[in-house]
Structure 1
Amino acid sequence: MPDDKSRADLLAEELDDLKAEVTKLIGMIDFEIGRKWCTFPLRLQIERIEQLLRQEVANAEP
């Protein structure tokens, strides 16, 4: 049975999975160091990367 998902949908799902994994890893770092402010710049960079990737997904051809 063929999959009805477009390339953009598949990329969006993959991005969501990746974001969940990265968020989990940052949480582990926060727990280990005990200071969330240490990972704040990393979180900002990840948010920016996510925005750029979501733009790419939105512009992806089906």
Structure 2
Amino acid sequence: MAHSPERPKLYVCNACQTVHAGTVVEHTESGHRYEPPDGCGACDGSEFTLLEDWAHHHG
């Protein structure tokens, strides 16, 4: 069976909508655990929403 690479969690900055790859905070046998960055590299915002939840986000 071919290995399927793990995709990082993606987070959207609530202020400017820039997308960031999550930071790996834990390595486990089943994969990695991600958290949003401390701050947005584009606007210094500090609130993020998971990309998969963005369509349901009411900022």
Whether these two folds match at TM > 0.5 is no
Q: Which protein has the bigger strand share?
A: 2
Larger RCO, structure (CA 8 Å, separation 6 or more): 1
Question: What TM-score bracket applies, with the shorter chain setting the length?
Answer: under 0.3
TM-score by length of 2: 0.24
Structure 1 length-normalised TM: 0.23
* Higher gyration radius (CA): 1
Q: Which structure has the highest helix share of the two?
A: 1
